[in-house]
Amino acid sequence: MKNRVKSLGVAALFPACMLLAWAAAPAPTNTFSSDSWPYYGHDAGGMRYSPLTQISRDNVSTLRVAWTFHTGDISEAGGRRKRSGFETTPLLVDGTLYLTTAFNRIIALDPETGKQRWAYDLKIDLDGDYGDGLVNRGVATWVDTSRAKDKPCHRRIFESTQDARLVAVDAATGAPCADFGNEGQVSLRDVLQYDPGWYHMTSPPAIIDDLVVVGSAIDDNHRVDMARGVVRAYDARSGALRWSWDPLPANPAVAAAEGKAPSWRSGAGNAWSIMAVDQERDVLFVPTGSASPDYYGGLRPGDDKWSNSVVALRGKTGELVWGFQLVHHDLWDFDSASPPLLTTLHLDGKDVPVVIQGNKSGLLYVLNRDTGKPVFPVEERLVPKSDVPGEVASPTQPFPVKPPPLVPHTFSADQAWGPTSQDRDWCRNYIAHLRNEGIFTPPSLQGTLMVPGNIGGMTWSGSAFDPKRSILVTNVNNIAAIARLIPREKYNDRSSRTEDGDYGDQLGASYGLYRRFIQSPSDLPCSPPPWGMLTAVDMGEGKIRWQVPLGSFGDFGGEHPQQIPPGSISFGGPIVTGGGLVFIAGTVDCFLRAFDIEAGKELWKGKLPACGNATPMTYRVSATGKQFLVIAAGGHPKITEEKLGDSLVAFTLP
């Protein structure tokens, strides 16, 4: 995708006229005295719900910046070095805020002033090849109840790094926990088919009982036999490996076809997103991504279980409890990128424990937490066949009967959009030449329209759930893309790569890959707006309650001759609060926004010093203190003209 986002200079976070409004703000309420944020998703099950009510629908318009902390860790692309992205969601435990930087430094801050208490530098190689760029989304924490509170590493902070290490440091000082692994570190490189250029970690580990569990991020369109996407659990005290689970066991279809012992002929299927934990049931819920290579599956026949799935693993052993596959034999990079969300729904007079799993397809699945069986019916429906020699696409895919798809699944040439008639004509002509039979049309040699494209639907941004209202809120993207398979001989002739876009080698397969998002000469999407939406789903009814455009593409690609409709792609998810609010950033116009959860009305937006491609969090340290709202603002590493930043920004009421 050729992203030319105009850099937005920020002279001040708010205009001076807002200062007059602060004095008239309604008095804050004190229904909940304090609340921490001990997990990436607030609770171990990832609901992203805070009961705090001090910031409410009545006073949210008066939010102001309380403090800003600069990490100093920014990297522009150059040589081998990738751009940075500041995507951390901090944790708040024991009166301290813990975060990670783009360079994998761990930092502890005073949560009310933003002053640094300590920092620990893991000294990763900043010139390493780290896939999508220098990013990390946070830490996990664990308390050693066998160790006195005043002893080192009573509370530990864990981070998994871009260069494949698991690190444990003392929460009080930042010093490495010497009894964990080798002086506080465990290598994560001991996996089959490991390649240092294509195997790394971006998400925080999960904690279940006395185990710290890690997945991995793998660049799955590089070659057939990418690294194994194993999930591994380590002893939180010693760092010893306790169990591992591979989402792609040996493929019997490959063995039958070749007359050999079972083999893989694939890799990845990895868990690169956030995991959820049910401590009471001793179950870990793992979202998995695509098998490699992700746009051609001729060498990995069958469903490729358990890639593109949500699986339940026994915490103590790693044993598979159940699995549910969201996409069979994935050919579209439709990872289960959205973190699983655990909650309880009241359905037909009963309380039902569920796991809610979104997908890049824009489909939302509600499964019984104990069995993995759909709570709302799921139908296997016929989908288009592949016309690529050597490829056998799955004949069906699973579609929930409800909720309905959260994004469109079809897009015809006569629906093409553009800011000018010339743009629209270009888009219509381009789309008319693509294979286009709706969602799950396989990649082709002529080029296939992918709707939605490989950024979703729902991506790693995930969702939030209000348990009082039984409303789930998620941001979705709505931009079509093209995927074209290129025969190996032609692909290897680099002089033939004349189109702007992404090329995937898919080494070992008969085809390389070309893909890009479909944009007109104006650089705006050809698909009709809104290109990004915030969606609320009534989970009791399985219906969309409201759906509103999120953000703006008004400055995308520079100035335009007329007003651009609202709606922006977004990376970075929502949270919800007891104050009846949804908070979310993630858009290319660089605002943090607040919405009324009942109606979807935007109530406030605050300008950020760089775009906030992260999930915010909120906390109140004490009964007499203020509620703070915190977001990392660092820009996006793959939107190459977007301004980068290193700011952790905290908002509060006057």
Say which residues have a Cβ less than 8 Å from residue 494's Cβ, sequence separation at least 6. none
168 within 8 A of 176, measured Cβ to Cβ: yes
Longest dimension (CA), the chain: 78
Which residue in 632, 551, 519 sits closest to 97, CA to CA? 632
Measured CA angle at 93 (ends 90, 97), to 5 deg:
40
CA dihedral sign of residues 204, 633, 336, 246: negative
Check residue 226 and report its DSSP letter: P
Check residue 81 and report its DSSP letter: B
645 within 8 A of 627, measured Cβ to Cβ: no
Which residue of the set 220, 246, 333, 335 is catalytic?
Answer: 333
Dihedral angle of Cα 78, 81, 82, 83, to the nearest 10 degrees: -60
Query: Where is 593: in which H helix or E strand?
Result: strand 591-596
3-state class of 70 per DSSP?
Answer: strand
Tally of helices (H runs) and strands (E runs) in the chain: 4, 40
Place of tokens 């640094």: 116
The amino acid present at 570, given as its one-letter code, is: S
481 within 8 A of 431, measured Cβ to Cβ: no
> How far apart (Å, rounded) are the C-alpha atoms in residues 76 and 85?
10
Beta strands in 148-254 (DSSP E): 155-160, 165-170, 185-187, 199-200, 206-208, 211-214, 217-218, 231-235, 241-245
**CA within 13 Å, CB half, 651:** 29
Query: Where is 485: in which H helix or E strand?
Result: strand 481-487
Say which residues have a Cβ less than 8 Å from residue 216's Cβ, sequence separation at least 6. 164, 188, 191, 199, 200, 201, 227, 229, 230, 270, 271, 272
> How far apart (Å, rounded) are the C-alpha atoms in residues 32 and 41?
19
Say which residues have a Cβ less than 8 Å from residue 591's Cβ, sequence separation at least 6. 551, 585, 605, 606, 607, 608
Give percent helix, percent strand, percent coil of the chain, each to the nearest 5: 5, 35, 60
221 within 8 A of 294, measured Cβ to Cβ: yes
449 within 8 A of 441, measured Cβ to Cβ: yes
237 within 8 A of 179, measured Cβ to Cβ: yes
Q: Is 333 a catalytic residue?
A: yes
3-state class of 607 per DSSP?
Answer: strand
Q: Which residues are catalytic?
A: 333
